Amino acid sequence: MQKITRDQLVEKAVALLSDGTVSAVLGWSRGEFDYDITPAVFKSAEEVKENFVWNDFCGANFSKYLVAQTGKVEGKILVFLKPCDTYSFNQLLTEHRFDREKVYAVGIPCEGMADIAKVREIVGDGIVSIEDDGESLKVSTLYADAPVLVGAKDVMAERCVNCKSKKHVAFDELMGEDGEVIESARFDEVARLEAMTPDERFLFWQNELSRCIRCNACRDACPACTCEKCVFDNPDSAVENKAPANSFEEKMFHIIRAFHVAGRCTDCGECSRVCPQNIPLHLLNRKFIKDINEFYGEYQAGAEVGSRAPLVDYTTEDLEPGEVFERGDQDA
């Protein structure tokens, strides 16, 4: 369902490598199957030609990799950014997390990525190949006699169904056409949770978070979590933990993380995408975004470089703490 093709991206990467503009390429690398794509650092045109992929399973957001990779690579690194990735890119720049001079950013359009779990829900297990015919995915499995056609829309990842912007907010060069910021229904689910009684809401999160295995994938994939030493990894922090010692701690990790990224989370959706236990972590962050929007006016982290997030800024217009408190009371 992508409009831009793999060949166009490969051609671009090869050209930029060959003329010396960049010395490495951050891109998606071919997997064992058609959906298990690995972010990779390509160093040569040959590697790009052989292993670079671009399809409906290229969800990984590369912005965060720039923090580590710009330090490792001599010269510039080429990064392909989908619209949502550009917000993370800007947010990281706002926080001075990588050297902009070392990056050549190419914005690429995205029609939405597929979620392999949704594909499995429809076609079942044993997926041996997935072909894209533009409108739908042709999925062959070990158990069905003929390939099953699934509509691209039906298997689109939640974050893409609720895409907030097709517009690139950062790039050196744009391929294809740029889109617009779009109205999305991304806060509907948050509103549904807000409408619950505190007990119902507690049960909802209790149930979701009880599956957490504290693997830290959500934190490690999150472009807003780039602390050199996470408080949860620091043996001297007194809260360092590798396991939720009890159900309180299990929630603490998520609550603290949500607070740490509040105002900085761009809602890129990586946390929920990578969670092995399908925990809808994006809902915690979206609650913060929704509150910030309602309390301080519309704010989109990463929309531009250098913006001051409402939580670290002060204006005389700011909401009085008492009003926040009252509203919290009404919700309860």
Partner 1 sequence: MRKCSLDSINKIFGKIAETNKLYLPVDGSDGVAVYTKWEEGKEWSNALNTVRSPKDFFFPQVENLMEFKTSGKNIELTDIREEAEDFVIFGVRACDVRSFDILDRVFLTDPVDSFYASRREHGVIVSVACSKPSETCFCQTFDNIDATNPLGDVTAWKTEDSVYFKANTEKGEAFMKKIESLTEECDDTAVAAEKDKIAAIMKKLPLKDLSADAFGGGKTDTFFNVPEWDELSATCLGCGTCTFVCPTCQCYDIKDFNTGNGVIRYRCWDSCMYSEFTKMAHGNNRLSQKERFRQRFMHKLVYYPENNEGIFGCVGCGRCLAKCPISMNIVKVMKKIGGKVNE
Binding site residues, partner 1, CB under 8 A? 31-33, 36-41, 60, 65, 121, 124-128, 142-143, 207-208, 211, 213-217, 219-221, 233, 235, 238, 241-245, 273-274, 276-278
Closest CA to 215 of 250, 252, 181, 187: 250
Structure tokens at 206: 């209790």
Q: Is 160 in the site for ligand SF4 (CB under 6 A)?
A: no
Q: Is 94 in the site for ligand SF4 (CB under 6 A)?
A: no
Cα radius of gyration (the chain) = 21
Identify which of residues 157 and 303 has a Cβ nearer to ligand SF4 in the complex: 157
Binding residue count for ligand SF4, defined by CB under 6 A: 13
Smallest gap, in angstroms, from Cβ of residue 323 to ligand SF4?
Answer: 32
Q: Which does 31 bind (CB under 5 to 8 A by kind): partner 1, ligand SF4, none?
A: partner 1
Cα–Cα distance measured from residue 307 to residue 95, given in angstroms and rounded to the nearest whole number: 10
Among 157, 279, 289, 301, binds ligand SF4 (CB under 6 A): 279
Q: Is 216 in the site for ligand SF4 (CB under 6 A)?
A: yes
Identify which of residues 22 and 283 has a Cβ nearer to ligand SF4 in the complex: 283
Ranges of H-type helices in the chain: 6-18, 45-51, 65-72, 83-94, 116-123, 158-161, 188-194, 198-209, 217-221, 247-261, 270-274, 282-296, 321-331
Smallest gap, in angstroms, from Cβ of residue 121 to partner 1?
Answer: 7
Q: How far is the CA of 245 from the CAs of 234, 259, 281, in angstroms?
A: 16, 21, 20
Structure tokens at 191: 């509103």
Q: Which does 142 bind (CB under 5 to 8 A by kind): partner 1, ligand SF4, none?
A: partner 1
Determine contact, residues 152/137, Cβ cutoff 8 Å: yes
Identify which of residues 197 and 278 has a Cβ nearer to ligand SF4 in the complex: 278
Q: Is 275 in the site for ligand SF4 (CB under 6 A)?
A: yes
Identify which of residues 69 and 86 has a Cβ nearer to partner 1 in the complex: 69
Q: Which does 198 bind (CB under 5 to 8 A by kind): ligand SF4, partner 1, none?
A: none
Smallest gap, in angstroms, from Cβ of residue 32 to ligand SF4?
Answer: 12
Identify which of residues 195 and 245 has a Cβ nearer to ligand SF4 in the complex: 245
SS3 144: coil
Determine contact, residues 276/213, Cβ cutoff 8 Å: yes
End-to-end CA distance of the chain: 44
Smallest gap, in angstroms, from Cβ of residue 223 to ligand SF4?
Answer: 15
Closest CA to 219 of 228, 203, 230: 230
Identify which of residues 142 and 312 has a Cβ nearer to partner 1 in the complex: 142
CB environment 54-91: b (16+ within 10 A), e (fewer): bbbbbbbbbbbbbbebbeebeebbbbbbbbbbbbbbbb
Q: Is 214 in the site for ligand SF4 (CB under 6 A)?
A: yes
Q: Which does 143 bind (CB under 5 to 8 A by kind): ligand SF4, partner 1, none?
A: partner 1
Closest CA to 206 of 259, 250, 260, 241: 250
Smallest gap, in angstroms, from Cβ of residue 181 to ligand SF4?
Answer: 28
Among 116, 212, 284, 292, binds ligand SF4 (CB under 6 A): 212
Q: Is 41 in the site for ligand SF4 (CB under 6 A)?
A: no
Smallest gap, in angstroms, from Cβ of residue 149 to partner 1?
Answer: 19
Cα–Cα distance measured from residue 169 to residue 184, given in angstroms and rounded to the nearest whole number: 18
Cα–Cα distance measured from residue 120 to residue 217, given in angstroms and rounded to the nearest whole number: 22
Identify which of residues 86 and 216 has a Cβ nearer to partner 1 in the complex: 216
The site for ligand SF4 (CB under 6 A) is made up of 212-218, 274-277, 279, 281
